[in-house]
Amino acid sequence: MKITAVEPWVLGASWRNLIFLTVKTDEGLVGIGECTLQNREEGVLGYLQGAVRRHVIGSDPFNIEDLWMRMYRNEFWRNGPISTTVISGIEIACWDIVGKACGQPVWKILGGRCHEKVKAYANAWYTVERRPEEFAQQVKVVLAKGYKALKVDPFGPGSLELSREEKVRSVELVAAIREAVGPEVEIFIEMHGRFSAATAIELARMLEPSRPGWIEEPCPPEDIPSLRKVADQVRIPVATGERYFTRYGFREVIESSAPDIIQADPIHAGGILEMKKIAALADIRSMLMAPHNSNGPVCTAACVHFDFCTTNVKVQECFDDFSESWVVEAVPGTPRPRDGYFYPPEKPGLGVELNEELIKEHPYKEGFFNMWESNWHMRQFTKG
């Protein structure tokens, strides 16, 4: 079997453009992948053209390790989000082809089921004014959908430091959520790599009464010593990983022992098999995996297949219930949480397809998603 063509499909949405792939073969099997990278669509689409020409066309989709290494090692300028996102999208599509050829879901091919179900947590639900009463009201939508865990960034456009007023306001937002959801629902706190170690430590201590399940990316991802400093001085688990790429990029942060939870993203970190390798590194240090997914439904499918064949998975992020309706409709077969949990997909491959006509109805949108603007959490494009 040989790959004969790769076609990108761009779906426009409110705050990002989703990039899906179809990878076609000479035997008629078609694999679905995703290489969404917000604010980097032009770079991804441009790099994809060259990578397909140099490495992908003519390759056997079963030879995933060989194709991955040629796309990674044979490019002198390697690593970084654009190149690894393209590699990831191709790799995921190849697993889809392999699963379809074998008549098995991907998770069965990559080790088989480790879990009966995997808890989902909701994100992107808090698109309301940053007031405690607004957050407390909006979180009822999360509960109504059956979620038993959620994530929130309550900090606005803060950077390195926050004023005392903003610290208190952010903590009050989380306290309002805790009161609204009760003691059993898990609340994860997103910090988006904003803070100095000192600020993150102070905020974590202020947030303790709300019993967060973790603080995520408390410091800029490049600053691993500060992450280590935070981990040493807080009593809340520390999570990070969405902005590290491949097992090589994760080595230093895992060896630092700073994180408790690793949040590699399958469409940025190198694909599903690369996620398995990162999970093995994390497992050596007794770290759990919570795959990052602020992307589209194909990434959701890739995450869920990874989750069910990986022993040290804790929980799975999900944006799909809080995106525009056409986002999930564009990918029939997308795994959806039931009563707050994902269950093992049973269809061959990833179990998803693309509704190409619907994607054409929602084309690329011009804009820039800037997380350092006020009201960024409303998740709308601004002028770039």
- Positions marked catalytic: 192, 292
| Angle of helix 224-233 versus helix 246-255 axis, rounded to 10 | 40
Of 293, 336, 339, 333, the C-alpha closest to 313 is 293
Long-range contacts of 243-248 (CB under 8 A, 24+ apart): 243/81, 243/193, 243/217, 243/268, 244/269, 245/79, 245/80, 245/81, 245/84, 245/269, 245/270, 246/72, 246/79, 246/84, 246/270, 246/274, 246/278, 247/274, 247/277, 247/278, 247/281, 248/79
Tokens of 271: 């694909």
Residues 6+ away with beta carbon under 8 Å from 223: none
For residues 31 and 117, give the distance between their C-alpha atoms in angstroms, rounded to a whole number: 25
For residues 93 and 79, give the distance between their C-alpha atoms in angstroms, rounded to a whole number: 20
8 Å CB contact between 364 and 13? no
Residue type, 97: I
User: Is residue 248 packed enough to be buried (19+ CB in 10 Å), middle (13-18) or exposed (0-12)?
Assistant: middle
For residues 346 and 250, give the distance between their C-alpha atoms in angstroms, rounded to a whole number: 31
8 Å CB contact between 219 and 227? yes
Tokens of 217: 């990316």
- How many C-beta neighbours within 10 Å does residue 26 have? 11
For residues 72 and 93, give the distance between their C-alpha atoms in angstroms, rounded to a whole number: 17
214-216 vs 238-240, strand pairing mode? parallel
Of 86, 54, 63, the C-alpha closest to 2 is 63
Of 281, 277, 291, 237, the C-alpha closest to 259 is 237
